[in-house]
Amino acid sequence: MSQTMSNPWCPDVCPITSEPFFMWIEHHATGQSVPTYGGPYDSYTIPEKDQNGSYYRERYDHDEGCWRLDDVEDVGVQIVSDQAYISDDTPEDIAREARNAALTEALRIVSRAINGKDASTEIESLIAQAT
């Protein structure tokens, strides 16, 4: 079954704000129908990501019967990639922890060598990692 342009599909709720679908409205800039969410007095487009990574949406004022071009709203959401590493530690703290971990590992290897166990492979591996 094909959908016609007069009745295209859209999400039942806004995927960013979770507001319910309200109605299709002709967009002021593109002239194409866009789904709006919220209502009944004001409805909003699905938020779009701007160059700063924030999401913004446009508002249609149903009382006035027009798009509020002076009222582009930042929805206060940023979606962080699950590939991004987030830490409250400073870069200096992270470097210090890495150095401490490397020193701890080196001391463990030296301790094994002192106790008569062959640690040459581990020492070579540690040197290779450090360079």
CB-CB neighbours of 59 under 10 Å: 18
The DSSP symbol for 40 reads: S
Decide: residue 29, CB within 10 A, 0-12 exposed, 13-18 middle, 19+ buried: exposed
pLDDT tens per residue, the chain (131 residues)?
A: 444 456 688 999 999 889 999 999 999 999 999 999 998 999 999 999 888 788 899 999 999 999 998 877 888 776 666 656 666 777 788 788 888 888 888 777 777 777 777 766 776 676 666 65
